[in-house]
Structure 1
């Protein structure tokens, strides 16, 4: 099942180190079969606020996403970005093709029914 790395980047400041990071990141992704799905600030905010830009990467699984993030190659270039761009990064598993949110609703309702009222 695929997994994803998502970054919400804020307070971006142009800097030569950021350009070097961008030039080198794909080489860190390739050994883990990682690829960009989204990258930029052309966002259409429909609810709430979204200051900044986003990056969405896809990997074959969570093990590959973790291995990429923890790799020496990525850790070497990471400060090139973090010194100049504030952000949050999360890794998370994807869902199977047959995912049905009604099943999730049923599980939540059942858990709530088992929890004593406070």
Structure 2
């Protein structure tokens, strides 16, 4: 799963609440691994993102289940108010 933040955060309080909820709930029993978390990003093509997160799940189905879980959906409402993201689930190799 890839999270691309296109612009800087425009509501710090909402982002802080999103992060707090994610810390408290953790992965809620899902097998999730952080592969990239807001490290330096060098755009070779297209516009440079403000931030990128890459999460690994055992399957697309598990990634979708995590995203749709009550715990993440509660946090998501705050992220949507805080910043503009694109979120992509892609199948690995």
TM class, shorter-chain normalised?
0.7 to 0.9
Give the match for residue 22 of structure 1. Answer: 19
Question: Which of 81, 84, 87 is 1:86 aligned to?
Answer: 84
Moved more, 64-73 or 48-57: 48-57
Q: Is the 8 A contact 2:42 2:48 kept in 1?
A: no
Question: Which of 13, 18, 29 is 1:31 aligned to?
Answer: 29
Q: Unmatched 5+ residue regions in structure 1?
A: 96-118
Q: Is the strand fraction higher in 1 or 2? A: 1
Structure of higher RCO (CA pairs closer than 8 Å, 6+ residues apart)? 2
Count of matched residue positions in the alignment of Structure 1 and Structure 2: 91
For 2:73 and 2:20, the matched residues in 1 are separated by 15
Q: Is the helix fraction higher in 1 or 2? A: 1
CA RMSD in angstroms, aligned pairs only = 1.7
TM-score by length of 2: 0.83
Q: Unmatched 5+ residue regions in structure 2?
A: none
TM-score by length of 1: 0.68
Point out 4+ residue stretches in structure 1 off by more than 6 angstroms.
Answer: none
